[in-house]
């Protein structure tokens, strides 16, 4: 579902992920899955950050998008860990401080990504 070369809109991708994860949690939610769900949630958020970075193909686009998310021009260009012109891989960039700072968990939830831990708690409490 999160193949990097898949070209669908963010809304459609988030809808598919939400549907799949809610169904999966409904089915397996009666088990003791807290640790596994937290690990899966962390992986899924990293994967989404990786997809975001991949879709910003050009350096100019990366700088512009990082600035939209609250960084200055200098920070976007010269951040030691991840700058817009990095040659590091997408997965490594997704784990960088820059991507974690600009795309926090709350911002990803606003984009439509499901919070698996909260959803599991809601399912197990009802």
Q: Tell me if 93 is assigned to some domain.
A: yes
Average pLDDT over residues 6-13: 85
Q: Tell me if 6 is assigned to some domain.
A: no
Question: What percent of the chain is modeled with pLDDT above 70?
Answer: 96
Q: Tell me the pLDDT tens digit for each residue of 38-47.
A: 999 999 999 9
Q: Tell me if 42 is assigned to some domain.
A: yes
Residue 57 has pLDDT above 80, yes or no: yes
| Residue 121 binned pLDDT confidence (cut-offs 50, 70, 90) | confident
Q: Tell me if 3 is assigned to some domain.
A: no
From residue 64, give the alpha-carbon distance in Å to each of 10, 43, 83.
Answer: 19, 26, 12
- Tokens encoding 14: 């988030």
pLDDT value of residue 69: 85
Question: Please, what is the Cα angle at 38 between 70 and 126, to 5 degrees?
Answer: 110
Task: Give the total number of structural domains in the chain.
Answer: 1
How far apart (Å, rounded) are the C-alpha atoms in residues 87 and 5?
A: 19
Indicate yes or no: pTM above 0.75.
yes
Q: Tell me if 34 is assigned to some domain.
A: yes
Q: Tell me the pLDDT tens digit for each residue of 58-115.
A: 888 888 888 888 888 888 877 644 567 777 888 888 888 888 888 999 999 998 899 9
Which domain range does residue 39 map to? 11-125
Q: Tell me if 2 is assigned to some domain.
A: no
Q: Tell me if 51 is assigned to some domain.
A: yes
Q: Tell me if 1 is assigned to some domain.
A: no
pLDDT value of residue 81: 47
pLDDT value of residue 123: 84
């Amino acid at each position: 579902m999160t193949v990097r070369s898949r070209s669908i809109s963010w809304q459609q991708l988030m809808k598919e992920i939400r549907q799949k994860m809610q169904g999966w949690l409904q089915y397996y939610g009666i088990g003791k899955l807290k640790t596994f769900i937290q690990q899966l949630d962390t992986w899924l958020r990293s994967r989404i950050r990786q997809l975001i970075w991949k879709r910003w193909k050009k350096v100019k686009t990366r700088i512009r998008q990082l600035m939209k998310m609250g960084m200055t021009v200098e920070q976007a260009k010269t951040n030691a860990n991840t700058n817009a012109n990095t040659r590091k891989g997408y997965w490594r960039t997704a784990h960088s401080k820059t991507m974690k700072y600009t795309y926090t968990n709350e911002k990803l939830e606003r984009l439509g990504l499901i919070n698996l831990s909260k959803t599991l708690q809601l399912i197990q409490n009802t």
